[in-house]
Each structure stands twice: as structure tokens, then as C-alpha cells.
Structure 1
Amino acid sequence: MINEILKTIEQYQKIIILRHQNPDPDAIGSQIGLKTMLQEAFPEKQIYVAGIDLAVLDWIGKMDQISIDTYQDALVIAVDTANSPRIDNNGDYRIADKIIKIDHHPNVDSFGEINWVDESFSSCAEMIYTLAEKLAPLKVSRETAFSLYSGIVGDTNRFLYGETDYRTLRISAELAKTGIDISQIALHEDEMSLQVARLEAYILDNFQITDSGFGYIIIRKPEFDKFHLDDGELDHAVPLIGRINTINNWIVVSEKEPNHFRVNLRSKNVAINGVAEKFGGGGHPLASGVYVGSMEDVNALIKDMDNLNK
């Protein structure tokens, strides 16, 4: 599979790297890291990263601005994206000549002609490093290492989550050996704006916890608007409730637009991706997400999450 990916990359002069909507450090880090790696190995190729820029993640890297014509005769590599509707692209990618999918989520949608999906990896950035480890033309420079390490630290929540294993730590150590400033990356991952700090204070003051150990917060639009969050800043507050030792699983529900609820699902031990899939979402066993269109669905989802603990 990995050799097939390299052979395909070698065949194309133009390569566009995409990722999922509402990107996190792993999505951006995988994109930027793969772009840098390929540019250094194949300087004659045109290589782009595309998607919406998020100011909170500009420290990892910024996206390229390309037209729909760029996709003509191009190879698209979609990283860290479980299914095609989540690709952060208005559909332009469909005119590309070929699509490669590289992902570590459950394989619910094999939308690529080549699909390298492996749930055993802690992050997609870890998979991108493995490409360089196994394929001779590819190398990991300090610039590439900065992006990939940022992705690994982001998706493991600084090595807190259960997907962290020996391979994760070994690869992280190899990336650190390039001379990147791992303290700087940790500070970027940990710092928050004043508006996020106020959001976290609101969450701690208003979340609910059931007898089973399920915690939840519903932030309706009038309250959500008060925090003036930039895109991507809400994600910083999602792990907060889980730091409480009596909580087993939790959700953060936010209504950015009327009757359009984003639900972030998290768990310490019991799989919750089945609940997300029931409502049209998906993700990892312990970290998933979904959008729902009514408070009835939100309440039904809350009931299902509570019942998991019972």
C-alpha cells in the first residue's frame, strides 16, 4: 500500500493535499508536513495545501489559494478525513484525476482510489512520518518535523489519550531529534485567548453531570455569541469537563447558528462513536463529533450517552 502511494505520487506533476472541515492541529500538521516532505523530495512538482485558514492554527502553517482549474489532471491526497462529505472543499476535488486517502479514523467511506487507513495510529501525522520512514526518497527535515510533531501532540492531547503507545513516543522522539522546539509547540497547544478562558469558566459553572458519570453542557446561540470566539477556538474547551475525576464521558453542544448544533463527544473508557454514527456523525471510539438540527436530537443524544454508562 505505501509503495503504491509513492509510485502514484511520482506519476503526477501536480498534487493537492486536503483535510477535514473544522481542522485541528493533526489535520493542518499532516497537510503542511506532507507538503514540505514532498516538496523537498520532488522540487520540480507543484504541491499545494487547500482549505479554510484558521487564525488559531496559523502557527503550524497557512493554506494555498488555488482555483478550480488547479484540480484538473491533479492528484488529490486527503489526510485525516474519514468520509468525503467532511473534506474541507466545495467539491472541486472531484475533477481531480485520482484521490489518495490517508487516515486513522474508522474506515466508513473508502472514497479514494487508494485508501491507506489504519486505526492503530494515534494521529494522521504519525502515518505521514511512517511514509518517510519506509520510502527512500522521502526525508523528514526540521520544518517537516515541526508540523508532524504539532499534529501528534494535538491529537493525543499532549500524550494523554489512550491511543498513545510506544510507536507514538518513538516517532515523537525522532521528530524532536531534528532540533525542533518542542516546548514552543507545547505552549502553542496549551495557550488560549481571553474569550476561551471566559468560555471555560462558563462551562465549569453551568455543566451538568448525571448519576452515571455523564457530563454535558449545552451552549445556546445567545450565550455562544457572547464569547466572540474565532473559528476553531471552541475545540480548546472540549476536553475541560473530562478533567473532572467523577466524569466518564461527556459532550459539549454548541449552537453557532439557530437550530444547528455541533456536538463534540468524548469518553475516558467506553466507546462513543456508535452514538455519533447513529445521529449521522462519526469519529474515534473515544472522540467523535456530529451535527444535529434540533433540541429533540440533542436530548436523544444526551439520553444515549447517559445510557452507555448504565
Structure 2
Amino acid sequence: MIDEIMNNIEHYETIIILRHQNPDPDAVGSQIALANILREAYPQKNIYIAGIDLSVLDWIGKMQQVDSDTYQNSLVIAVDTANARRIDNNGDYKKADKIIKIDHHPNVDPFGDINWVDDTASSCAEMIYELADKVDNLKISKADAYSLYAGMVGDTNRFLYADTTYKTLEVAAKLAKTGIDISEISLHEDEMSTRVARLEAYILDNFQVTDSGFGYIVIRKDTLEKFNLDDGELDHVVPLIGRIKDVNNWIVVSEKDLNRFRVNLRSKNVSINGVAEKFGGGGHPLASGVYVGSMDEVKALIKDMDNLNK
């Protein structure tokens, strides 16, 4: 698989690296590190990273503006993206000559012409490290190690989640050995704005827990607007309910637009991605997401999540 990916990378003069909407440190870190690794190995190629910038992730890096015409006859590599509709792109990527998918979510939508999917990996960043480690002319700089370590720390919640393996820790140690400031990265991932702190206080004061151990909070649009969050800041509060001992699985529901609800699903042990897929989303067994279009759907999803524990 890696040989096939590299043959295509060597063939195309223009390579555009994309990732999923509402990006997290793994998506951005994998995207930026892969681009820089390839630029170092192939300085003659045109290699771009595209997507919406989030100020909360500027410490990892920023995106580029890529014209629609640039996608013609290009190679698109989509990292950390489970399904095509989650690609952070207006559809220009469909003009590409070939698409490669590199991802660590369950492969429910093999949208690439080439699909390298490893759902045992802790993060896409771990896979990008593996790619560079197995190809002689690909080198990981200190800056690349910083981006990849940020991705791994982000997707494992500082190595808390169950998909953290000995391999994950070995890769993290090798990245740390380059001299990156691992404490700085962890502080970036842990810090929050005053706005987020107040939202966390609101959640702790208003969330519900059922007898089965299912926790949930529904934040309606008018309430959410009071916190005046920057894009991406809401993601910081998603793990909060799971820190409570009596909670087995939980959701954070946020209404960003009228009757359009983003639902983040999480679990400590029971698989919840089947519920996400039922409502048109997807993700990992213990971390998934979906958008739904009505409170009736939200209530149905809440019922299904509660029933998982029963």
C-alpha cells in the first residue's frame, strides 16, 4: 500500500492535501507534516494544504488558498477523513486526477482511488509517521515532529484513550527525541479561553445523567451565542462529561444554526459509532459525530445512546 502511495506521489507534479471539516489537532498536524515531509523530498513539486483556518489551531500551522483550477490533473490526499462529505472542500477536489485516502477511522466510505486505512492506529499522525519511517527518502524534521506529536496528543487526549498502544508510545517517544517541546504542546492542547471555561461551568451545571450512566447536554442556539465562542472552541468541552465517574457514554449536542444540531458522541467502553451511522454520521467505536436536523432526531439519538447501556 505504501509503495502504491509513493508511486503516485512521485508521478504527480501537483499534490493537494486536504482533511476533514471542523478540524482537530490530528487533522491539521497530519496535513501540515505530510506536506512539509513531501516538500523536503520533492522540492520541484507543487504541494499545497487547503481548508478553513481555525484560530485555535494556528499554533500548529495555517492553510493556503488553492484556486479551483489547481485541482485539475492533480493528486489529492485526504487525511484523517472518514467519508467524502466531511472533506473540508467545496467540491473542487473532485476535479483531481486521483484521490488517496489516509485515515484511521473505520472504512465505511472508501472514497479514494487508493485507500490506506488503519483503524488500529491511534491517530492519522501515527500513520504519517509510519509512512515517513518506511520510505528512505522521506525525513521527519523537528517541525514535522512537532505537528505529528500534536496530532497524536490531540486524538488520544494526552494518551488517555483506549486506542493508545505500545506502538503509539514508541512513536511519541521517537518524535519527542527530536527535541520538540512536548510540554508546550500539551499546554496548548489543555489551555482554554475564558469563554470556554464559562461554557464548561454551564455544562456541569446543566447536563443530565440517566440511570444507565448515559450523560448528555443539549445547548440551543440562543444559549450557545451567549458564550461568543471562536470556531473550534466548542470541541474543547466534549470530553468534560466523561470525566465524571458515573458516566459510561455521553453526547454534547450544539445547535449552531436553527434546527441543525452537531452531536459529538463519546464512550468509555461500549461502541457508539453504530448510533452515529444510523443518523448519517460515523467515526470510531468510542468517539463519533453526526449532524441532525431536528430536536425529534436529537431525542431519538438520546434514547438510542441510553439504551446502549441497558
CA offset at residue 106 of structure 1? 0.6
2:132 matched to 1:158?
Answer: no
Aligned letter for 2:197? A
CA offset at residue 208 of structure 1? 0.3
CA offset at residue 73 of structure 1? 1.3
Provide the residue aligned with 2:180 in structure 1. 180
Provide the residue aligned with 2:211 in structure 1. 211
SS in structure 2 of the partner of residue 302 of structure 1? helix
Provide the residue aligned with 1:86 in structure 2. 86
Provide the residue aligned with 2:300 in structure 1. 300
Q: CA RMSD in A?
A: 0.5
CA offset at residue 44 of structure 1? 1.0
In 1: Cα distance, 2:68 partner to 2:236 partner: 33
2:237 matched to 1:237?
Answer: yes
Aligned letter for 1:185? I
Provide the residue aligned with 2:264 in structure 1. 264
Provide the residue aligned with 1:74 in structure 2. 74
In 1: Cα distance, 2:293 partner to 2:71 partner: 33
SS in structure 1 of the partner of residue 102 of structure 2? strand
Aligned-pair identity (%):
76
2:249 matched to 1:249?
Answer: yes
In 2: Cα distance, 1:7 partner to 1:222 partner: 51
In 2: Cα distance, 1:18 partner to 1:146 partner: 19
In 1: Cα distance, 2:35 partner to 2:221 partner: 38
SS in structure 1 of the partner of residue 159 of structure 2? coil
* CA deviations over 1:125-148 (Å, ceiling 9, x no partner): 000000011111101110110100
* CA deviations over 1:247-296 (Å, ceiling 9, x no partner): 00000000011100000000000000000000000000000000001110
SS in structure 1 of the partner of residue 115 of structure 2? strand
In 1: Cα distance, 2:111 partner to 2:215 partner: 35
Aligned letter for 1:299? K
In 2: Cα distance, 1:83 partner to 1:262 partner: 16
TM-score (norm 2): 0.99
SS in structure 2 of the partner of residue 304 of structure 1? helix
Aligned letter for 1:123? S
Query: Which 4+ runs in 1 deviate beyond 2 A?
Result: none
Aligned letter for 2:256? K
In 1: Cα distance, 2:16 partner to 2:66 partner: 9
Provide the residue aligned with 1:198 in structure 2. 198
In 2: Cα distance, 1:151 partner to 1:30 partner: 7
* CA deviations over 1:109-168 (Å, ceiling 9, x no partner): 111111000101000000000001111110111011010000000000000000000000
CA offset at residue 66 of structure 1? 1.2
Provide the residue aligned with 1:34 in structure 2. 34
TM-score (norm 1): 0.99
Aligned letter for 1:105? H
In 2: Cα distance, 1:97 partner to 1:215 partner: 45
* CA deviations over 1:206-240 (Å, ceiling 9, x no partner): 00000000000000111010000111000000000
Provide the residue aligned with 1:133 in structure 2. 133
The unaligned stretches of length 5 or more in structure 1 are: none
In 2: Cα distance, 1:109 partner to 1:288 partner: 15
In 1: Cα distance, 2:179 partner to 2:73 partner: 37
Provide the residue aligned with 1:111 in structure 2. 111
SS in structure 2 of the partner of residue 212 of structure 1? coil
Provide the residue aligned with 1:25 in structure 2. 25
In 2: Cα distance, 1:44 partner to 1:178 partner: 26
Moved more, 38-47 or 234-243: 38-47
Provide the residue aligned with 1:287 in structure 2. 287
Aligned letter for 2:230? D
SS in structure 2 of the partner of residue 252 of structure 1? strand
The unaligned stretches of length 5 or more in structure 2 are: none
Provide the residue aligned with 1:57 in structure 2. 57
In 1: Cα distance, 2:12 partner to 2:256 partner: 40
Provide the residue aligned with 2:227 in structure 1. 227
